[in-house]
Structure 1
């Protein structure tokens, strides 16, 4: 199904959630505020109840394109994004994570598929950037990367760090499931796909995301992903299966054959270890997690 509104109008909202990341939000805002585009756009930063100077950093940018909103009731990036959506009124919404950067022509290029009626839901290409002296963890993260095209084609979703969506899609299928600690991008994308909307991969629209540079950061991520896999089953068993039986690992995690032998061995061992970490996160959530009575409203809706 493709939406048939007459035009996209020129207004676009860029929604960026942030929590305790003053340096990340700074580099992202400096990137977003220098867009070279014919389109009028606004940036809505949603502070998810930060306890450091993050809100002050956002407010230090006295710019008419920028506003800050707050999500203080629910500690969740998906709840923050939902707050951002509700605080905007534009036909197109773009989602960018704090710590990402984009080239000056990013927005102009990203809107072309919407103008051509090729997309209702679109994921951009994401390149991971390495530090000057990359660690093993950074090189592994860079190699495994963000296979956005495979996510869209095979799993029918794009990560929320590089996502464009028409407002009418949210009005039809609902907002992000704020109960999920991870996997909310997949759950929302699957809803969009099931509703029959046009999903598109913008291969030539590139965004940049720094690598995770420590083993601790990789472990933290995979524990969260494992918890999210269990929560997907808990809240959406018809789609993802019964809690207690984790789904098979997905995504590109195997080391490529073009790598030096030492890297192949190291990356292979790290991949197996992180798969175990993900399983640990899953079973921790299965044993200790439960439905939160305060979050039993299900998928939040966007009023038209």
Structure 2
């Protein structure tokens, strides 16, 4: 069975869009959806409750740790499937997504697999939306060059979690990279399912990009704080990978605009990094990587 885990925090419309997209693909004994509320303070719990009469959908509350990775861990513990799939609230999928992903997973005998992610944007596209659509989710490149797939499009065998542990719940960002690197170091092959496509809306404002990249910057420092043997000691942020650099074949106007926005967001990540560096260890009361009992 495939257990689909969806963490959410304060996104009632995102929950509804994702559940309505996935629900027709759920089957008794074949697939189940677990929604994990990370202690939302708006209408999100009400929306979640409206779906839990469906025996193929359940919910769990993660209110001990404010972290999407802690929420995913709660969903894993709650689930029963031998394959765990992850999706973010606000994403949608085509009606053959689960079947296509399952087939790719089984044909390659995968233990860890990332799906293809395409970004959708509004008709009235801002610079921020066009930049996000262009740089997008280069999942294949992440797998090839950085040995991880984003958690919004990830399939993992339960036995992998039992072997290497769950997501690091101390991280605000970067937990997908840390987990993927841990899986790779343990000797598992990382796969990519090009035909299993998922859809993610673009970030359509500069403020949305700034919010995300500050979080990413904090996560980079946290990776060094909690995993210095792999990512280095805090104090010097890692250099950008270049994977999401704007293409050289863009029209000159877009290349200049995207390049300027990319440099700005790199600076924002640096700001987030040093804000985290100057704070105390806010997650110091948490254990390290939590384990999943077989």
Shift of 1:113: 2.7
Structure 1: how far apart are the matches of 2:278 and 2:254? 36
Q: Is the 8 A contact 2:138 2:244 kept in 1?
A: no
Unaligned runs of 5+ in 1: 1-10
Shift of 1:132: 1.3
In structure 2, do the counterparts of structure 1 residues 291 and 49 end up closer, same or farther at CA, with 3 Å as the change threshold? Answer: closer
Partner of 2:49: 59
Number of residue-to-residue matches in the alignment: 293
2:4 match: secondary structure: strand
Q: Is the 8 A contact 1:20 1:51 kept in 2?
A: yes
Partner of 2:167: 176
2:191 match: secondary structure: strand
Q: Which stretch of structure 1 is more off in the superposition, 149-158 or 248-257?
A: 248-257
Q: Is the 8 A contact 2:26 2:56 kept in 1?
A: no
Q: Is the 8 A contact 1:39 1:108 kept in 2?
A: no
Q: Is the 8 A contact 1:37 1:105 kept in 2?
A: no
Q: Is the 8 A contact 2:25 2:95 kept in 1?
A: yes
* Cα-to-partner distance string for 1:273-293 (whole Å, 9 max, x where unaligned): 100000010011111242533
Structure 1: how far apart are the matches of 2:176 and 2:143? 11
Q: Is the 8 A contact 2:28 2:56 kept in 1?
A: no
**Counterparts of 1:1-304 in structure 2 under 5 Å?**
11-35=1-25, 40-61=30-51, 62-290=53-281, 292-295=283-286, 297-304=287-294
Shift of 1:37: 7.1
In structure 2, do the counterparts of structure 1 residues 250 and 206 end up closer, same or farther at CA, with 3 Å as the change threshold? Answer: same
Shift of 1:58: 1.4
Structure 2: how far apart are the matches of 1:114 and 1:288? 42
Q: Is the 8 A contact 2:26 2:33 kept in 1?
A: no
Structure 2: how far apart are the matches of 1:216 and 1:289? 26
Tell me the TM-score normalised to structure 2 length.
Answer: 0.97
Unaligned runs of 5+ in 2: none
Shift of 1:16: 0.1
2:151 match: secondary structure: coil
